Amino acid sequence: MSEINYQDRVQALANALKAAGVAAYVGTRQASLHYLYGAFMPWRGAVIVTAQGTCEVVYWAMDASRVKQEGAGFPLHTFTFSDFPSQIASRLQDLSADRGTIGLDLSHPGAAQVAPGMLTAHEYFQIQEALPHAKLINGVDYIDDLMLIKSPAEIELLRHAARVSDIGFRAGYDAITEGVTENHVAGAIESAIRDHGSVWSWAITGGTEVGSGLRTGYHLGVTQQATEKKIQKNEFVILDLHPMLDLYLADTAVPVFYGTPNAAQQRLIDCWEEVADTMLESLKPGRKIADCAMQGYDIFKKHDLADYGLPVFGHGLGTCARTRPFINMRSTDVVQENMVVALGTHLYHPEIGGMRLEYPVLIGPHGSEPLVDTPAKVHIKKD
């Protein structure tokens, strides 16, 4: 795999801060920590970048020795107990960045989910109290603007993670048979992706998700943690994989139908596949993402299934999956070449079942280029 120059990333961010008149950015999200420091950092931490190009890290002491050894080499300071905000403030003071505008990881406007690591209200108020001469603002876009467009090295890493998710999907598909539990199928997926380099199933909702039968059809429901429910014939099965390799994520969910669909199930399949095809076709450079999302939702309406289809169609992929672009009708982003997204299509009918697509794609010069080999369709398994 190509090496990543973390100093170049820091300098690019510093240039953006300087142009905006911002003294420093304090990133506490997993996305920022992984992107700028290059080590797996699941605990509380912050990466501080100043407009002058200085980068320092604050991290929980109980995991700091590993992170320091595995990371990009910028100075690392530790904290214990609840001293995280005071340590951030202290570092900003020592870097002479405590009297200007400081961008913090506070929120993603328009996104329902809170990205892992966003600053808490209590931490915000503590930093504000410790830095009375600073102006604290939401700074997520300073780093997200950089992470939005992927470098060749990042695309290589994301392609690798996606191909491992192909292997996991095939293992899950092969494990589906009458009477096996969802947990068994999830275990087969986990074994396959771990054997091929995944070190963490990153989803905070359920890790490797497997749902079957009516558990696939919770109204507007996007979470099916694997359970001891036994899979039966003639029902939908959702396989949702979240491998991480070299800090880069895949997010791959492709539905299976085990058996032969009846008329009601086939109606859902026909609608879902048309929406999925429409979304894959819609993402072309220069188009407004909100318009792409509306185009997909119009297909749900065409099939008279808008009450069961979600008006959200995916999100960005990189060192986190809670990053722009958020593919919904409130997005202000425009499709750009070298974005990488987990393209989504969600249709859940409580009485019938449901399907989920989360599909890693690269935006090329002419539109979506899947990073996986698994087709974006309902996979029928007869035996």
**Whether the Cβ atoms of residue 222 and residue 321 lie closer than 8 Å to each other:** no
State the average pLDDT over residues 131-157. Answer: 97
Residue 314 has pLDDT above 90, yes or no: yes
Strand order in the sheet with 24-27: 76-79, 55-60, 45-50, 24-27, 101-104, 135-138
Both tokens of residue 284?
Answer: 């072309």
> What is the percentage of the chain residues whose pLDDT exceeds 90?
96
Between the alpha carbon of residue 159 and those of residues 6, 49, 60, 212, 370, the distances in Å are 20, 29, 32, 28, 9
Helix or strand (DSSP H, E) at 369: strand 367-370
Instruction: Quote the pLDDT of residue 205.
Output: 77
**Whether the Cβ atoms of residue 335 and residue 286 lie closer than 8 Å to each other:** yes
CA atoms within 13 A on the CB side of 293: 23
Residue type at position 319: T
Residue 290 has pLDDT above 80, yes or no: yes
Average pLDDT, the chain: 97
| Pairing of the two strands 24-27 and 101-104 | parallel
Residues 7 and 11: their CA atoms lie apart, in Å, by 6
Residues 26 and 12: their CA atoms lie apart, in Å, by 15
What's the whole-model pTM score? Answer: 0.96
pLDDT in tens, 252-265: 999 999 999 999 99
Q: Would you tell me the crossing angle of helices 140-148 and 30-37 to the nearest 10 degrees?
A: 60
- In this structure, what are the phi and psi dihedrals at residue 189, rounded to the nearest 5 degrees? -65, -50
pLDDT in tens, 161-200: 999 999 999 999 999 999 999 999 999 999 999 999 999 9
Q: Predicted confidence band at 294 (pLDDT cuts at 50, 70, 90)?
A: very high
Both tokens of residue 26?
Answer: 């304090």
Q: Which of 45-49, 101-105, 110-114 has the lowest mean pLDDT?
A: 110-114
Residue 301 has pLDDT above 90, yes or no: yes
pLDDT in tens, 316-364: 999 999 999 999 999 999 999 999 999 999 999 999 999 999 999 999 9
Residues 263 and 93: their CA atoms lie apart, in Å, by 66
Both tokens of residue 119?
Answer: 């600053």
